[in-house]
Structure 1
Amino acid sequence: MTPAHSRRDWPTYVGGTIAICLVVGLLNYVMRGGKFWQGMLYAFTVGVQISAYISLLTYGLAALLRRRRADSAALRHGWVGWGWLLPCILLGSLAGYSGGLWLGDLISGGRSLQPWQAADRRVALSLSFTLLVSVVATWFFFSLFKLNSARIERAEAERQAAEARLALLQSQLEPHMLFNTLAHLRVLIKLRPDEAQRMLDRLIDYLRATLQASRATEHALADEFARVADYLALMQLRMGERLRVRLDLPAELSGVAIPPLLLQPLVENAIKHGLEPHVAGGELRVSAAREGGRLVLEVADSGAGLTATNELSGVGTGFGLNQVRERLAHRYSDSARFDLTPQAGGGSVARIEIPS
């Protein structure tokens, strides 16, 4: 048997030890007869002590070896190698066998033969069987724990890779908006310098707030709407009366936590591909609601709507929308939903549904 090298393995280790003791007790009863309860008693007093001694020996030895070979992945899993492990099994089995018999005798009032009486054929057979079970159980537990550790480490590596990719996408998204705004500022500086100054002040405020939000993994829905309002204030300076804004956030949903900057790419997409190409402009509505225990976020515009090309291939809109899809999949897996559909009266609506 073997030490569980992390807390998550202890239920498996304890359950496996109990199962082995039960099997050994049944085998002892079938092969040697006697009282059933006595067979089970000795199986557990011996088995549990052997398990404890081998665990302590191998765990302590692995801790000592890790000080000298800190880069060893195997030692991080508690594996010390068979060259070290076999002596631990031998010593642990002998100590546990002797201590278990003593405890069993104390409880039952019996008198068992001890390991030092190995000249007796019954003792030799019993010791051999105990050592065999200990070796097999140790190999089984170590194999199981190493397999679980490899699975968990692989999942952790995939999670870190996904987070790194999402961070890259987010860092790409901010320059995407920034370059559009700076290009407009360049024109305004020559034509309307006062308006350019106001736009630059808005841009500084927006970037300061956005950079603070990007350092968090989640923030309140009220903060998300505040970032959207900052962004739309910039766009209104650019588009003037052509852009009409409506933000609907019920007070009871203000504190709901969501990933930061989740709505911005949808708002940017609606302006760039829905309202700006539309000569008359239109209204942009950002809303939040709770429907059937789920949080529903919508970004709707009354602009040009979805063309057949954009609807089928996402040409021109793929970056922002894919960024939203990837962030939802990473955070909520299959429990989130995202749709971009045309509106009956013109324009389009982007809809996000997530658990709340």
Structure 2
Amino acid sequence: MPQTPPASTPAFSRARFKRDVLLCAIINTLVGTFFALQGSPIVRAMVTTHTIGFTVLAVTLTAMWLIKPSQNREIYVYFGAVVAGTMLGLGINFSMRFTREELEWALEEPRHLFRILGLFMVVAGMITIFLYSRIRAARLEAAFHAEQSLAAAQARQLAEAQLKMLQAQIEPHFLFNTLANVQSLIDIAPAEAKRMLMYFNDYLRASLARSRDEHGTLKQECDLLRAYLSILQIRMADRLRFRIDCPAELQDIEFAPMLLQPLVENAICHGLEPKLDGGEIKITARREAGLLKLSVRDNGLGLGKSQGGSGLGLANVQERLTAIYGPAGQLALYENQPVGVIAEITLPCTNPPP
């Protein structure tokens, strides 16, 4: 079972780094503008705020990347990095623009030092809040994507489990019944027994190919159904007729296994077999408004008139459609006119590979 990875400091992202630098520059400019409006020379204010701001940004990002603290210790690493960045930025700022005379003047007027220190702390505090909120937002985003990946993996596991359950429901009794029919036909109708074995071989070959191919095609599904219905046609004789209409341009479309066969099985078991004179099954595929629509039509007993419930695997088919295709995968049942049932699958139309 996939596990959700623990939350940690997000990995380096070039796009996020560019956004951080840009927003840091904007904040530095706004703070520098504020102090310029209070009477400080604009060039000096901008140099100061940008020096301190970018130094704190660099030191904080470097500390988080090197230390990789846990969430409980993260705030302390931020605080230490901001203090270190502020002191380093202070030294760089003084070395760039303070002459000896200016330093002596500043020492004689302590209020200027407090003003500079206050300026630095305001910039550093804004950068700290900004960085910490960015990291938390990135972590929440990473956790959200991890949960989505986990949910997708669980949905795939559920779909695979449902597929195995459907195969376990359909295949054993079908295989045993077919072998029993072949055995009974060998003595009385050897030609029919030979023909049934031929279709049975086609069915096993198509079924094996579908089970091994993770991304099967609609053509493979139709080949499987053609062999399946051919076997049933021999068993039911003239009580079963079928047609499969799948245009050539749709045959290479990717199609998940065991979506149509349960519908055909349901039509046989609950629509045609209980009917004295049997009937016909028609399977059609068409593309409509970017969607693939597949229908299984029968002229059997109809909805609510058959025995044995709502049919084999219909709920599982809908669940698998939702798991594989999301809300776009739908199964609907309609009354066929004048008699019978239409089971229609709608799903996104995946273009055939080049």
**Structure 2: 5+ residue runs without aligned partners?**
1-7, 350-354
The 10-residue stretch of structure 1 (233-242 or 20-29) with the greater mean CA deviation from structure 2: 20-29
- The question of 1:214 aligning with 2:214 is answered no
1:49–1:97 contact (8 Å) kept in structure 2:
no
CA offset digits 1:92-131 (Å, max 9, x no partner): 45556666x599x7xxxx66999xx998323322332243
Helix, strand or coil at the partner of 1:219: coil
Higher Rg of the two aligned structures: 2
> 1:27 and 2:31 equivalent?
yes
1:224 aligns with 2:218: no
Q: Could you tell me whether the CA contact under 8 Å between 1:339 and 1:352 is conserved in 2?
A: yes
Cα deviation 1:312-346 (Å, max 9, x = unaligned): xx9342x5212221222223322333211111121
The residue correspondences of 1:109-258 to structure 2 (distance < 5 A) are 120-185=113-178, 187-188=180-181, 190-193=183-186, 194=190, 199=196, 202-258=199-255
1:327 aligns with 2:341: no
* Matched residue, 2:352: none
Structure 1 pair 302/179, CA: closer, same or farther in 2 (3 Å)?
same
Contact 2:36 2:42 in 1 (8 A): no
Is 1:51 the counterpart of 2:96? The answer is: no
Residue equivalent to 1:70: none
User: Judging changes above 3 Å, is the alpha-carbon distance between structure 1 residues 96 and 296 closer, same or farther for their aligned structure 2 residues?
Assistant: farther
Counterpart Cα distance in 2 of 1:276 and 1:97: 89
SS at match of 1:192: helix
Is the 1:50–1:97 contact (alpha carbons within 8 Å) kept by the matching residues of 2?
no
8 Å Cα contact 1:3-1:54 kept in structure 2: no
Instruction: Tell me, yes or no, if structure 1 residue 282 matches structure 2 residue 279.
Output: yes
Secondary structure at the aligned position of 2:287 is classed as strand
Distance 2:141 2:176 in 1: 53
**Two-structure CA RMSD over aligned residues (Å):** 3.7
Percent sequence identity is 26
Distance 1:94 1:331, change over 3 A: farther
Residue identity matched to 1:136? I
Q: Which amino acid aligns with 1:180?
A: H
Distance in 2, Cα, partners of 1:82 & 1:340: 58
CA deviation after TM superposition for structure 1 residue 299, in Å: 1.0
* 3-state SS of paired residue (2:313): helix
Change (3 A) 1:174 1:102: farther
**Relative contact order, CA 8 A, sep 6+: which one is greater?**
2
Number of residue pairs the alignment of both structures matches = 328
1:31 to partner: Cα distance? 3.8
Please give the alpha-carbon distance, in whole angstroms, between the structure 2 residues aligned to 1:211 and 1:35.
81
- Cα offset for 1:214? 3.4
Give the AA of the match of 1:289: R
Unpaired runs of at least 5, structure 1: 66-73
Residue 59 of structure 1 deviates from its aligned partner by: 1.7
